[in-house]
Structure 1
Amino acid sequence: MTNHSPTARRIAKTILNGFDAYFADFQNITLGAKARFETAAWQGVHHANKERIDLYKTKVNQVVKLVHSVTSKDTTMLQLWGEARATFAQLIANHSNYEIAETFFNSVFCKQFNHAHIHDSNLFVKSSRPPDDKPLRDYSIYISYSGRDGLECMVEDILNDYGFSIPWEDQQRDIRNICEAMRAKPLAHVTDEKQLRVDMLESVFYRNKAAYLVGRLMYAGEVIPFILPCLNNGRGAIFVDTVLYSNDSASIIFSFTRSYFMVDAPIPSRFVRFLSTIMPLKERSELYNSIGFHKHGKTEFYRHILAHMKVSNDKFVIAPGIKGMVMSVFTLPSYPVVFKVIKDRFDRPKTVTEEIVREKYKFVSRSDRVGRMADTQEYTNFIFYRNRFSDELLAELKELAPSKLHMDDKWVIIKHLYVERRMEPLNLYLQHASEEEIREAMEEYGNAIKQLAAANIFPGDMLLKNFGVTRHGRVVFYDYDELCPLTECNFRKIPEPQTVEQELSDQPWYTVAEADVFPEEFRLFFSGNPVARKAFESQHSDLYDYQFWQRLQDRIRAGHIESAFPYRRKWRFKRRSSKRAEKE
């Protein structure tokens, strides 16, 4: 090991010990997912999700304090941290999770220096070594199954190997359902099932009320996703709800709109490499996010966009769509994300503050997003090349968010911003959609509102411009400054007017408290788009009824947690028992 000062070595070892302690605690919370699923402890699932997300910040703060305690030297000296970085790189040279350890070092450094001095000489802007893309050899994370004894036997072996502590509701029925579905679609062209191979990840992916068995089916050089969502029937048994076998359906399961999985991944990079084989369009950052390592997902994203900037030449521009009252939003046309900067002053009639907006985004990051809210990454002092900004965008940022902006001849540094996946705003999508596409989009829009509400989230401002359409056609909410827990709202019916003057008044003649919501007014969200309104009302007119919302509040307050399926309900298997099927 190259000689560095004893202080630098102590700092590096303290940070590495802190990382290992964090990772152990992360794993312990994750390992509890199996018992929570088997005992249907759904409230415990939500508590564990929040605990695991909060764990990272807690551990980083603890390590920053420890760093100060292991030396009498001035810990604000950059030279000291440069040496600590070099020592840390040597310490993790053979560490299984070196890349996530680097991110942890970065977090400690950024906490120490308030996100200043971000340079590769001080922390790991670039990784200390290239990613290991060699085939999995020395550490098996999956089990391979052969079709030599037939598809049914192979599926039975797969289900038996997962070893849940509670029984299958009807395993033979589930095997039959899986095999019929596979032969009907992905295996319809297969002439010899004995040539099939399935690789199944040993670890189960737990999220909300489901357990996912994740693998890939191999045949004649083709790689097909093979995912079995399993549910607890509430009576102490498990059943397979469906089988998913397309890249798109796998991608939706691992979507940026969903909560992070709980999965026992001792070496996350290897899980990411496996998942990339069934979702080749997903970036590494998204896959790290999906399995709970969202801080490292931020690192991967930052490195990826830096690499993209080197091979592209388009400019950052103001994002298309109706401009928001709270955020200035911009994008790079060749890159599929948007950057959101909180304005210094909000347009009327917005009354929220910047602190409230930040709290809303924090609330979303810790909530069950049920596939209907975009995951958002928060960055401090994000550095861009100035020559990549359009003049129009720079003018807008100078006017609307000057306190967030630092510029010189070469750089634009934005002191605080959020990054989200770019989607087409729903209002713009409807302008060019066919009647059938409008109907489907309105079904999705209503479903998004209902599923968010069932997860105790009220969007607040449900204008079409605040929802986006993904490449899979799903409608997703992405404007969070007005959202709140559903149970904090007071849903009311608009009182009947008592006089002619009241009936003709253009102002409410009744009192309206801050938390009051009048669902009848939701029709106003479709002003100027009668086709969309008609399509919406034919499918979701119940959202205009204040009693619909009150009933939902009662269920939430009673502790009920709704099921949110990341796949079409029509794909769910029918649950006839095997014995009944044999009689028929």
Structure 2
Amino acid sequence: MTNHSPTARRIAKTILNGFDAYFADFQNITLGAKARFETAAWQAVRQVSKTRIDLYKTKVNQVLRLVHSVTSKDTSQLALWRDARATYAQLIASHSNYEIAETFFNSVFCSQFDHAHIHDSNIFVKPSRTPDDKPLRDYSIYISYSARDGLEQMVEEILGDFGFSVPWENLPRDVENICAALRAVPLAGLGSGKQLRVDMLESVFYRNKAAYLVGRMIFHGEVMPMILPCLNNGRGGIFVDTLLHSNDSASIIFSFTRSYFMVDAPIPSRFVRFLSTIMPLKERSELYNSIGFHKHGKTEFYRHILAHMKVSNDQFVIAPGIKGMVMSVFTLPSYPVVFKVIKDHFDRPKTVTEQIVREKYKFVSRSDRVGRMADTQEYTNFIFYRNRFSEALLQELRDLVPSKLLITEKWVIIRHLYVERRMEPLNLYLQNASEEETREAMEEYGNAIKQLAAANIFPGDMLLKNFGVTRHGRVVFYDYDELCPLTECHFRKIPEARTAEQELADKPWYTVDEADVFPEEFRLFFSGNPTARAAFEELHSDLYDYRYWRRLQDRIHAGHVESAFPYRRKWRFRRRSLASAGRR
């Protein structure tokens, strides 16, 4: 083993101790999810989710202060940190969560140097060792079941092994529903189930008002998801709401538009490997995000795009769509994300400031996104190769974000940006949509607004260009500079004009405060698209009524938490009682 200075060893040990303390606190918060679900403590679910997100930065700052206290040497010397990095690599060589420990070291370093000096000699830009990929052999995290004695017995065993303290509402009914759904899976021979093996993760995935039992079915070499969402009826009973078995439905459950799961994952990499077997199209970064390790998700994303740059040759270009007033947005056509940079100056009539915009994005990251807002990762000093930028994009960045831009002969460094999943803007999608597709998109658009509102989020600017369409056809909001809590809005009806002059006036004849919202004006969002407007008004005309919004506010003030299902309501099982089952 290479000898390192005592100071470097103290720094490395301090950071590793800090990481272990962070991970223990993270796990303890997570372990409380079971009790919160069983007692239907939905308000606590939301608060604790924010607490767990904030925990990381709190611990990083705490550890940096400890680093300064364990040495009298100048901690701004890069040579000291290079030595500490080498020592740290040795210390975590046999650590079960070495990859997340690397990210923690990176965060402490970046906090010390304000995200400068990003190089693999200083931090872990590259992983310290090759990941151990054994996707089908992580036996310690799942239990295997066989259907050789029949589907009913297997399903009953599965449900019986999950130790909820609250009883099942109607276990025979749930077993019957699950078996009927399994027999309807379009896979030849699965109905008999004789050759079916099911691997169920022992840990339950908790989010919002649901608990998800997550596993996979292996049948004649084919791997399919098996996800059982469970709900609490609020009267002391748990029931299985549906069975999800397709890659797409699993992907939506673990979508970038949803808040992070609470799941007891003592070795997260093993869970990520397992989840990759049922969602092969999802990147590791998304899966780490989904189980709450969003900081390591950032690391995984950065490593992945660096690897992609080595095997691609297309250029970054200005993102398609109507340009926004607040952000300059660009993308790499061969990579499914957009990069958003806050402009130095905002176009009129925008009155927000850069700090306000940053606060809005922070608000989104800590909110329940209910499947209707894109998760966004924030980066400082993101480094790109200059030769991969189109001249048009470079010129736009020089014009719009000069204070955040550093260009050398080799690099383009952007001091602050957000990364977000790329979607087709809704206004562009509608240009080529059929009448049926338009109707479905308008149903989704209205549902997105309603579900966000029920989660106490008002989008503010609801123009079609601020919503995107995912590959699954879901409509998602992604422009955050004007959103706010719904409870901060004042919804009003437009007063009747008393004179002809008032009715024809260019400006309102009535007073309008900053928090005032007039839902009747939402019709303006469809200017130029009468087909979309007609479909929206047929499906969601209630959104034009100020009383709809006030009723929602009353429910939120009363402490009600709405249910937001990450699957279609028509897929939900029927919940007939045992008594009614006997009368059939």
What is the aligned residue count?
584
- Residue 579 of structure 1 deviates from its aligned partner by 3.2
Q: Give the equivalent residue in structure 2 for 1:370.
A: 370
Measure the CA separation in 2 of the matches of 1:192 and 1:507: 70
Check whether the contact 1:136–1:270 (CA below 8 A) recurs between aligned residues. Answer: no
RMSD: 0.8
1:83-137 CA-partner distances (Å, limit 9, x unpaired): 1000000000000000000000000000000000000000000000011103565
Give the structure 1 partner of residue 393 of structure 2: 393
For residues 220 and 433 of structure 2, the distance between their equivalents in structure 1, rounded to whole angstroms, comes to 39
Letter of the structure 2 residue corresponding to residue 344 of structure 1: D
Q: Matched residue of 2:235: which SS?
A: coil
Equivalences for 1:64-213 in 2 at 5 Å?
Answer: 64-135=64-135, 137=137, 140-187=140-187, 189-190=189-190, 192-213=192-213
Residue 270 of structure 2 is matched in structure 1 by: 270
In the aligned structure 2, how far is the partner of 1:578 from the partner of 1:150? Answer: 22
Are the aligned partners of 1:186 and 1:245 in contact in 2 as well (CA < 8 Å)?
Answer: no
Kindly provide the amino acid, as one letter, of the partner of residue 140 in structure 1.
S
Deviation at 1:148, TM superposition (A): 1.2
Name stretches of at least 5 consecutive residues in structure 2 with no aligned partner.
Answer: none
Deviation at 1:182, TM superposition (A): 1.3
Taking the aligned partners of 1:138 and 1:280, their CA distance within structure 2 comes to 17
Letter in 2 for 1:374: A
Deviation at 1:477, TM superposition (A): 0.1
SS in 2 for 1:118: coil
Structure 2 CA distance, aligned partners of 1:570 and 1:60?
45
Say if 2:520 and 2:544, in contact at 8 Å, map to a contact too: yes
Which amino acid in the other structure matches residue 398 of structure 2? K
Using the alignment, how far apart are the partners of 2:580 and 2:37 within structure 1? Answer: 28
Code of the residue aligned with 1:6 in structure 2: it is P
Tell me by how many angstroms 1:172 deviates: 0.4
Q: Is the 8 A contact 1:429 1:469 kept in 2?
A: yes
Give the letter aligned to residue 429 of structure 2.
Y
1:185, CA displacement in angstroms?
2.3
Runs (5+) with no aligned partner, structure 1: none
Letter in 2 for 1:364: V
Map of 2:506 onto structure 1: 506
Q: Deviations over 1:475-508 (max 9, x none)?
A: 0000000000000000000000001100111210
Q: Distance in 1 between matches of 2:164 and 2:538?
A: 43
- How far does residue 139 in structure 1 lie from its aligned partner after superposition? 5.5
Alpha-carbon displacement from aligned partner over 1:400-443 (angstroms, at most 9, x marks no partner): 00000001100000000000000000000000000000000000
Distance 1:383 1:525 in 2: 38
1:581 shift after superposition: 1.3
* 1:264 partner SS: coil
Aligned to 2:335: 335
Q: What secondary structure sits across from 1:458 in the alignment?
A: coil
Distance between the aligned counterparts of 2:277 and 2:90, measured in 1?
Answer: 31
Residues of 2 paired with 1:229 and 1:134: CA distance?
Answer: 27
Structure 2 length as normaliser, TM-score?
Answer: 0.99
- How is 1:490-501 mapped onto 2 (pairs within 5 angstroms)? 490-501=490-501
- Superposed, which structure 2 residues align to 1:372-521 within 5 Å? 372-521=372-521
**Secondary structure in 2 aligned to 1:556?**
helix
| 1:307-362, Cα deviation, whole Å (9 max, x unpaired) | 00000000000000000000000000000000000000000000000000000000
Q: Which amino acid aligns with 1:432?
A: N
Q: Distance between the aligned counterparts of 1:264 and 1:33, measured in 2? A: 9
4+ residue stretches of structure 1 with deviation over 6 A?
A: none
Secondary structure of the residue that 2:242 maps to in structure 1?
A: coil
Equivalent-residue separation in structure 1 for 2:224 and 2:377 (angstroms): 31
How far 1:187 sits from its partner (Å)?
Answer: 4.5
Amino acid at match of 1:542: D
| Equivalent AA in structure 2 for residue 200 of structure 1 | M
Distance in 1 (CA, whole Å) between partners of 2:138 and 2:275 is: 18
Q: Which amino acid aligns with 1:267?
A: I
In structure 2, distance between residues paired with 1:137 and 1:365:
34
Q: How big is each residue's C-alpha offset from its partner over 1:375-405, in whole Å with a ceiling of 9 and x where there is no partner?
A: 0000000000000000000000000000000
Q: Deviations over 1:483-542 (max 9, x none)?
A: 000000000000000011001112100000000000000000000000000010000000
- Is 1:355 matched up with 2:388? no
Identity of matched residues, %: 85
Give the Cα–Cα distance (whole angstroms) in 2 for the partners of residues 135 and 453 of structure 1: 40
In the TM superposition, residue 578 of structure 1 has moved relative to its aligned partner by 2.8
